[in-house]
Amino acid sequence: MTVKIDFCYDILSPFAHVALARLGELPSDVELRPVPVLLGAILSHWGQKGPAEIEAKRLHTYRIATFLGERAGLSMTFPPRHPFNPLGALRILAGADADLGMTRRAFDFVFGDGRAPDNEAELAAFAEAVGAPLDLAGDDTAKARLRANTDQAIAAGVFGVPSFVVRENGPAEVFWGVDSFEMLKAWLGERGMFERAPYKGLEAVEVAVRRN
């Protein structure tokens, strides 16, 4: 039986680029659907900052992403500006209903070639590189699709990217980041994993202190 998984990503994320390189490790019965989402809207919803927005975490984030990329066989090249505004590029991908090939070309543009598609010239180059019409960046249907993707991801419990979202029976299971990739593979091999010790009951752990 085919297992359908949404791969929620924003082209800002170097970790999503790494995750794409590891998809071959998933079982053959997995059907993966790439879903572009707007990370900024997700972070705002949950009241978070992105790792590159935290000054003390910024360089560490770039180093660990580069390290993990090397481990996955990637040569990581960061764009000269990061984080950059990904909105136009994400609308192009959403409007084109980008498949895995197009999604990979998008990440190769950003973290392979080290280019930020956040101005007119670079956005045009991005559209050409991925093979999608540039005018999707301003298309109302593409805008609505990106908003819908983002809203649906938030409703499923996505709080960061990349996230692998599995919808079977009951609430969606969300596996966030390259760090959870091994757990995703383990869960796919043992669906009842979270219903046994030591995972069972973790949702009942009390929150004793909350910071405003």
CA pair distance 210, 102, nearest whole angstrom: 42
13, 28, 75, 163: the catalytic one is 13
User: Taking a C-beta distance cutoff of 8 angstroms, is the pair 164, 170 a contact?
Assistant: no
Of residues 148, 185, 156, the one with CA closest to residue 172 = 156
**Residues with Cβ < 8 Å from 170, sequence gap 6 or more?**
none
* Integer CA distances (angstroms), 151 to 74, 140, 171, in order: 31, 16, 16
Known catalytic residue at 28: no
Write out the two tokens for 173.
């299971």
Annotated catalytic residues are 13
